[in-house]
Amino acid sequence: MLTKRRAGLCVTIAAITGSVLLWAPAPIARAQQPAAPAAPAAAAASGSAGQEEERPVFKVKVDMVVLSFTVTDSKGRYITGLKPKDFRILEDGVSQKINTFGEGNRPPVQVLDDGSTRPLIAPGTENPPDAPDPRTDSFVGTNVFVLFDTSNYMYRGFVYASDAIADFIRGLDRADSVAVYTFSRNLSRAASLTRDRSQAIFGLRKAVAGDDAALYNSLLLALRDAAKVPGRKVVIVFSNGPDNASMVAPDDVRAVAEDEGIPIYVISTADVSKDPVSSQVFRRISQRTGGQVYFAKTWQKQVEAFESIRESLGNSYTITYYPQTNTNEGFRKIAVEIVSDAGKKYRIRARPGYRPSRGF
C-alpha cells in the first residue's frame, strides 16, 4: 500500500522490512454529546474552548540546520583552510549567523557574535593520552551509512564489490563511524553504526547475493536511521542500478534526504547507455542532496570512486546555524557564498535547501 501527499510528504510503506510511516495528522471528528445545562457565560466559554480543542495548530520547528559542503577550484581541486569569516550563509535570502564551524574531521569550533572562534571542548577537559579518541563531539567525524546492493543484478561483480567496500571502510578516518546495510527485496542491517572497522567488515562479509532489488525502499529506511543520529552523516549507495521491487518513488526518497541534510553518494556499476533511467535518477538524487554520482563498471573504477568519496569527506566543511525567523513553511532555499573576490571563482557543492518539520 502506498499513499503519497506532497503537502508535507506523507508516505506509508506496509510491505517492506521495518515499516516506515511519515504521518501528518488530520483533525479528529468528535461525536456530538448531549450538553448539560449551564450558565450562559460558562456555556459560551466551554463552547469556545471546545472549538479550539478541535482545531489543530501546526507549528514549524527547526532546532538547528547542519550544512555540509565542499569547495573546489576550476580544476576540481579542493580548497581548504577557509575560515568562518570567509563564508556567508543565506536562507531564503536572509543572512544567517554561523553557530559552529568545522573542516574535515578536525574538532569544530564555536563562532562567537564578534566572528571570533573558540573550541567547543574547553582547555583542560581533554581525555588523557591513553583514553579513547577524544574527538567524540557529535559533529566530529562523519557517520557513514553504506548501502550495498546484493540483488540478482549484482551477482557477477558481488565479490569485487565487497572487497572495494571493505577497503573503503579500512581507510576511513578514525573519527568516522560506519554502518553497513545490504539490500535486495528487503533491507538487512548487517552492522550497526560503529568505529570498530572489523565489526563493520564482518557484517559486510555475511551478505549473500540474490532476489529482486528494492533500492528506494531500502534507501528510505537507511535515511530514516541516519536522521536519528546527530552530527554529520552521509549515505553511500553501491548498486547496479535497476529497481524492480520498490513501492516508493525516488523523488520522494530524495526529498527526505534533502530535508534531513544527508548527502547521498552513488557508485553505480551500470552502463549509462543501457540504463539511462536509473542513471538520470542517480544524478538527480546525488546533486540535490550535495553528494556525487560515479559510474564505475570495473573493479578499479569502483576503488577509485571510493577513494574520491573518502577525499571529499576529509575536505568538506560543516556549518551549523539556528535559522532566523522565517514564515516560509515550504521549501527554504540555502545559499553558501564566499565573501572574497577570489572565492567567486570557486565551485560550492551543497544541498539547495530543506523543508522544515511540522508538528502540533
Amino acid making up residue 52: E
pLDDT at 278: 86
pLDDT at 54: 54
Domains and CATH numbers, the chain: 4-27+35-60 (no CATH), 64-122+316-359 (no CATH), 143-304 (3.40.50.410)
pLDDT at 122: 52
Taking the complete model, does pTM exceed 0.85, yes or no?
A: no
**pLDDT tens profile 7-36:** 444 433 333 334 333 333 444 343 444 444
pLDDT at 133: 44
164 three-class SS: helix
CB 201 within 8 A of CB 242: no
pLDDT at 134: 40
pLDDT at 59: 46
- What's the CA gap between 333 and 49, in Å, rounded? 38
pLDDT at 115: 87
CB 238 within 8 A of CB 160: no
pLDDT at 61: 53
pLDDT means per 10 residues, the chain with 360 residues, are: 41 38 39 45 48 49 83 94 95 96 90 90 49 48 94 82 95 94 95 96 91 94 95 93 90 93 93 82 94 92 95 94 94 95 89 76
pLDDT at 156: 75
Q: Are strands 4-5 and 317-321 parallel, antiparallel or unpaired?
A: unpaired
pLDDT at 159: 87
pLDDT at 273: 74
- What's the CA gap between 240 and 60, in Å, rounded? 39
Instruction: Using CB atoms within 10 Å of the CB of residue 212, give its burial: 0 to 12 exposed, 13 to 18 middle, 19+ buried.
Output: middle
**pLDDT tens profile 123-147:** 544 444 444 444 444 557 899 999 9
Q: What are the residues whose beta carbons fall under 8 Å from the beta carbon of 295, sequence distance 6 or more?
A: 268, 270, 272, 279
pLDDT at 128: 47
